[in-house]
Amino acid sequence: MKHPIYPSLLAMTLILAACGGGGGSGETPATTTTASGVQQSAMAAESTAAPSSATASTVATPSTASTGNTTASTPTTSGATTSPVPQPVNTQKPVESVPVTTPSAPAEPVVIEYYGDSTVWGYRTNSGGQVAVPPPSAFAAALPSPSAYVVRNEGVSGSTACELLNGADGRHQRWSDQMAASKARYVFINHGINDQWKMDLNTYKGCLRSLAQTAKQYGKQMIFETPNPTRDDVGVMVTAMKEVAAQENVPVVDQYTYLRQYLNGQSVYSIVPDGLHPTDAVYILKGKYAAGVFTSLFIK
C-alpha cells in the first residue's frame, strides 16, 4: 500500500536543505569575532558561494577584539560577515627629547684705560726711566678677579689735560677720535701737576669738562683722579677738578687727600724725593688705593 505522505516529506526535506537547514526563524544569526576566531571567520566568508538573497540590507552589529588590556571594536554584519584583522597596539612610551645646551663663550675682559702725566706712567724719582710697577699695574693687581680686566697705562710724561683733549700730547689722537676707537668701559684721568704751570684754572676746568662729556658720549664711565702732593701747592688744581666732577657727575679718586693723610705731618719729600714723582712703594700704594675706591663704586 502506498503512502502519499512520503513524496511530500521528501519534497519538504529538499526545500529545507536548499534554504540552509531548519531551526530558528530563518534569519542569519549575528556572529561575534574575537582575536582567536578572526582567521576562521575570514575563511568562512571566502568559502561562501554566494550571499543570501533573502537579506535585503546589511545591519552592523558591534563586536570586540581584545588585545592585551586594550579592546578594539569591529563591525559585524548580517549575511556575509567580514572582520578586519586587529592592528597591534603600541604600548611603548614616546622617547623624550633631551634639550641640547651650547656652552656660552667666555666673557670678554673689561678694558680700563688710565690717562695722565708722568705720575701715571710711573717715572722713577731722581733717576728717570719707568718703575717696575707703575700705578695702573698695581691697580690691576689689586682688583678682585684681576684676569677679568685689562688695564692700559696711557700716561704721558709732561702732558696736560688740554693736550690730551686736542691730541697734542705726542701719543694720542684727538680725544673724540680716541674715544670713538676705544674699547674701554672705564676711563681714568689724572692731570693737574703740569697744568698748573701751563694754563689758568678756567682753561684747565674747561678741558676737564670736555674730556668727561666726550667720554660719556661714547658710553664710557669717566673717573677723575687727583694728583699726588708735590713740592708746589697743587691743592688749587685739586679743588678745580672736584668742582668739574660735581658738575658732570663724575666720581673722584682723591689721591691728594689720601696721601696727605698718609704723610701725617711728615715732609712731602718723604713720598716724592724729587718733589714731584713718588717712590716705587708709593706708586704701588696709589694703585692699591685707586683699586679700592673703584671696587667700592663699580664692583658689587
Residue 106: pLDDT band by 50, 70, 90 thresholds?
confident
Q: Could you give phi then psi for residue 116, rounded to 5 degrees? A: 165, -160
> How big is the CA angle at 200 (ends 199 and 203), to the nearest 5 degrees?
85
55-59, 185-189, 268-272, 296-300: segment of lowest average pLDDT: 55-59
Structural contact between residues 137 and 151, judged by C-beta atoms closer than 8 angstroms:
yes
Residue 136 has pLDDT above 50, yes or no: yes
The whole-number average pLDDT for the span 201-212 is 98
Res 107: pLDDT:
87
Residue with the bigger pLDDT between 152 and 59: it is: 152
Residue 233 has pLDDT above 50, yes or no: yes
Res 243: pLDDT:
98
Q: Is the dihedral of CA 154, 226, 221, 159 positive or negative?
A: negative
> Strands (DSSP E) along the chain, which ranges?
60-67, 70-77, 110-116, 149-155, 186-190, 221-225, 252-253
Q: CA end-to-end span of the chain, whole Å?
A: 131
Residue 62: pLDDT band by 50, 70, 90 thresholds?
very low
Domains parsed from the chain with CATH numbers = 110-298 (3.40.50.1110)
Residue 55 has pLDDT above 50, yes or no: no
C-alpha cell at 159: 702732558
Residue with the bigger pLDDT between 72 and 278: it is: 278
Residue 101: pLDDT band by 50, 70, 90 thresholds?
low
Residues of the chain with pLDDT > 70, as a percent, come to: 65
Residue 118 has pLDDT above 50, yes or no: yes
Res 27: pLDDT:
39
Residue 194 has pLDDT above 50, yes or no: yes
Please write the tens of the pLDDT for every residue from 158-175.
Answer: 999 999 999 999 999 999
Nearest to 111 by CA among 153, 150, 154: 150
Q: Name the burial class of residue 138, with classes exposed (0-12), middle (13-18) and buried (19+) by CB atoms within 10 angstroms of its CB.
A: buried
Residue 219 has pLDDT above 50, yes or no: yes
Residue with the bigger pLDDT between 26 and 124: it is: 124
Nearest to 119 by CA among 246, 249, 253: 253
Residue 97 has pLDDT above 90, yes or no: no
Mean pLDDT score of the chain: 79
List Cβ neighbours of 298 (8 Å cut-off, separation of 6 or more): 186, 221
C-alpha cell at 192: 693737574
Residue with the bigger pLDDT between 90 and 268: it is: 268
The whole-number average pLDDT for the span 20-37 is 40
Nearest to 189 by CA among 116, 120, 140: 116
The whole-number average pLDDT for the span 195-216 is 98
Residue 189 has pLDDT above 80, yes or no: yes
List Cβ neighbours of 141 (8 Å cut-off, separation of 6 or more): 133, 287
In 233-276, alpha helices (H) = 235-248, 255-263
Residues of the chain with pLDDT > 90, as a percent, come to: 64
C-alpha cell at 293: 675706591
Residue 185 has pLDDT above 60, yes or no: yes
Residue 300: pLDDT band by 50, 70, 90 thresholds?
confident
Residue 41 has pLDDT above 50, yes or no: no
In 187-228, alpha helices (H) = 195-198, 201-217
